[in-house]
A and B are shown apart, each in its own frame.
Chain A
């Protein structure tokens, strides 16, 4: 189990920022060009271990040498960014990545930094995360008040208090359930009455399950990933896993979906420095290649519904071979190989191609979920 991130109060973050700013100020006053060291997202600095996902190992530090023009620009952006974070934290305000980008359009800032692309400001935030460290690990941008637009929902009998301060139950918070907080680390979990949580790539299927009252019948939570899950969703999954809730992931059978699953399970190389985003306990529920192509596969009957992989699908699968979290995972690697061999992909919507009456569809879903979960040693009643 990977450690969840350590708690850190915003006053502590302000202190950390102040430390850095004051050190820089002193350096300049002493007449020395500053040099900033950090651990980049290079493969040297990141290790992959199946039981923990990607972990930063801080082997090869990088340095920003203030004597160089481009580095001076980076430092200027870095200092400006920290000053913005500080002000926002002091005022208890959050900002989005886009907000942060627009703060660089302040006339006198734009005149100096000439930033024209949000990627540049995103990189600056990433740099801040890497430079500002606490307890030997990066301080995630959420702690600076920089939150991405939250993505993902969760439905189920879990009682929490989110940033609104209100106590609510995720099964009675609207038709999709609870809209996952941008800062799941700070969400308080009061009560959990589910035996497992299933996170589904596509919201349509998740909604179907909710409409069919499957969460209630099976005592499970149903989350909707909305494609590649955001940082907040991954942190929420980690939170649930910390509560010892089995995590099951239901995605398409495609090379892209292998990536979605591997990101949940192992985090990514780019964000290896941020703790609390990997859930190595997560299990791939489906759709798997065995569902379609083994004798006792549960979806062999609709094998004909599979579509051909496009060129970019094939390319994606080929690149998956170079992603440690996929290639070094025996099961995922096999999935990828089979897909490459068959050159076909399956989508969650395939359940609809059984052509069953709606009453029987529910039974099919329940049967699939139960059987597959049991295969993974997760008991769902």
Chain B
């Protein structure tokens, strides 16, 4: 991180109207800013930052505090520190208060699951119990970051529409539609305005509240909008997920990325994985992620849990007690959380279907491989047993007939396979 960016990146909470849409988990996607804020609220201790860039012989050491009221950072101390030119990176130290005993398991789970979904990050955690939780990065490629896109007509509410209109520079409804929304061209804009019964040349600002509501409702019911663009999404990708899932040391894994889909004007992509065997615990388990954040609570209420419950594992050659772990990642510009606490994903039909199709595809794939494996094992066992019997036959024949019966022509390796 550049020294100049530090206050903005770490010291400012990003709030405000979100006209631009992209999948996001804050500035860095690690939940950092809020953690800093929470740390200061609970301990009042300053944040210490050391940062340096490659190719420079010095870096910076900064102590800063957050001015919460004005949402800006206050630098308390700043020093240049010597470093080698190769060193780079940013280190942030802060304190926060929490109930370790009560939350221990969740925190460790969080680290663990994060290490699965973000395997390109190294995690190191020294617990208050003096244990060390450590996950080294296992892959260097990082998922393609998401691109910010304009909202989709189906993803706005009246309030948002109102404020969009108040800030737009468009002089007509038609140009408002084509400039402020994604995937709306001239043709679609005309069709829509016809459908909504609004004059395409109207100045956006002149709409009455009733007209706004009508426009909003029409946006919801108009069926000809193109689906929202998935460019604003950043799925993890099969390669990264495969690397991450290795942390579970399963015997076999299958991952599938579903094609983009949309609900209520928000695009979403479901990534599903099923791991089997190896070090996995017996029985079916579900690990859930939303925009790369592990979901730890209310597992049983989650839509993915319902999907797993309703799967007929027998159809895929598995049993309920087989070691199976289901991994579900949903990325979206708006995750369909059921609750404000963002504990679990709601049972939205289109989302559930995607998860279901994803898991089923994975299971089919796994089943094929497990079958191939058992077939190979069976073949191997058969060969071994056959060789055992013939060795016995040859020995018995040798004793009974007094001749030295060799098997070298029967088995290429003389029947000495294990």
Residues of A within 8 A of B (CB): 18, 21-22, 24-25, 28-33, 67, 69, 72-73, 75-76, 79-80, 82-83, 86-87, 109, 112-113
Q: Are the C-beta atoms of A76 and B400 separated by less than 8 Å?
A: no
Interface residues of B, dominant DSSP:
helix
- Check A73/B410 contact, CB under 8 A, given A22-B401, A25-B403, A83-B400: no
* B409 CB-CB contact with A under 8 Å: yes
Contacts of B409 in A (CB 8 A): 28-31
Pick from B389, B399, B406: contact of A75, CB under 8 Å: B389
Bound together, the chains give a CA A83 to CA B399 distance in angstroms of: 8
Contacts of A79 in B (CB 8 A): 393, 396-397, 400
Pick from A28, A73, A109, A113: contact of B407, CB under 8 Å: A28
- Check A112/B392 contact, CB under 8 A, given A31-B409, A31-B410, A33-B410: yes
Contacts of A87 in B (CB 8 A): 400
CB interface residues, B 371-418, toward A, < 8 Å = 382, 385-386, 388-390, 392-394, 396-401, 403, 405-410
Contacts of A73 in B (CB 8 A): 385, 389
Q: Are the C-beta atoms of A28 and B396 separated by less than 8 Å?
A: no
Q: Are the C-beta atoms of A76 and B389 separated by less than 8 Å?
A: yes
Q: Are the C-beta atoms of B394 and A28 separated by less than 8 Å?
A: yes
Bound together, the chains give a CA A79 to CA B389 distance in angstroms of: 11
Q: Are the C-beta atoms of A69 and B386 separated by less than 8 Å?
A: yes
Bound together, the chains give a CA A75 to CA B388 distance in angstroms of: 12
Give the interface centre of A33, A76, A83 by most chain B CB atoms within 10 Å: A76
Nearest residue, chain B, Cβ from A74: B389
- A-B contacts, 14 listed (Cβ < 8 Å): A25-B398, A28-B394, A28-B406, A28-B407, A28-B409, A29-B409, A31-B408, A69-B389, A72-B393, A79-B396, A82-B400, A86-B400, A112-B389, A112-B392
Whole-angstrom distance between the Cβ of A121 and the nearest chain B Cβ: 15
Contacts of B410 in A (CB 8 A): 28, 31-33
- Check A83/B405 contact, CB under 8 A, given A33-B410, A72-B385, A76-B389: no
Q: Are the C-beta atoms of B389 and A24 separated by less than 8 Å?
A: no
Bound together, the chains give a CA A137 to CA B393 distance in angstroms of: 26
Pick from B393, B399, B406, B407: contact of A24, CB under 8 Å: B393
- Residue count of chain B within 8 Å CB distance of chain A: 22
Nearest residue, chain A, Cβ from B403: A25
Query: Which are the 6 A-B pairs with shortest beta-carbon distances?
Result: A31-B409, A83-B400, A72-B389, A112-B392, A76-B389, A25-B397
Per-residue CB contact flags for chain B residues 192-215 toward chain A (1 = under 8 Å, else 0) read: 000000000000000000000000
Extra contacts besides A28-B409, A83-B396, A113-B392 (19): CB < 8 Å: A21-B400, A22-B401, A24-B397, A25-B398, A25-B403, A28-B393, A28-B397, A29-B406, A32-B410, A69-B382, A69-B389, A73-B389, A75-B389, A76-B389, A79-B393, A79-B397, A83-B400, A112-B388, A112-B389
Contacts of B407 in A (CB 8 A): 28
Contacts of B397 in A (CB 8 A): 21, 24-25, 28, 79, 83
Bound together, the chains give a CA A31 to CA B407 distance in angstroms of: 7
Contacts of B392 in A (CB 8 A): 76, 80, 109, 112-113
Q: Are the C-beta atoms of A69 and B385 separated by less than 8 Å?
A: yes
Q: Are the C-beta atoms of B401 and A28 separated by less than 8 Å?
A: no
Contacts of A113 in B (CB 8 A): 392
Contacts of A29 in B (CB 8 A): 405-406, 409
Q: Are the C-beta atoms of B393 and A76 separated by less than 8 Å?
A: yes
Contacts of B405 in A (CB 8 A): 25, 28-29
Contacts of B396 in A (CB 8 A): 76, 79-80, 83
Whole-angstrom distance between the Cβ of B376 and the nearest chain A Cβ: 16
Contacts of B388 in A (CB 8 A): 112
Give the interface centre of B386, B393, B401, B409 by most chain A CB atoms within 10 Å: B393
Contacts of A82 in B (CB 8 A): 400
Whole-angstrom distance between the Cβ of B374 and the nearest chain A Cβ: 16
Per-residue CB contact flags for chain B residues 333-353 toward chain A (1 = under 8 Å, else 0) read: 000000000000000000000
Contacts of A24 in B (CB 8 A): 393, 397
Contacts of A109 in B (CB 8 A): 392
Whole-angstrom distance between the Cβ of B416 and the nearest chain A Cβ: 15
Q: Are the C-beta atoms of A18 and B401 separated by less than 8 Å?
A: yes
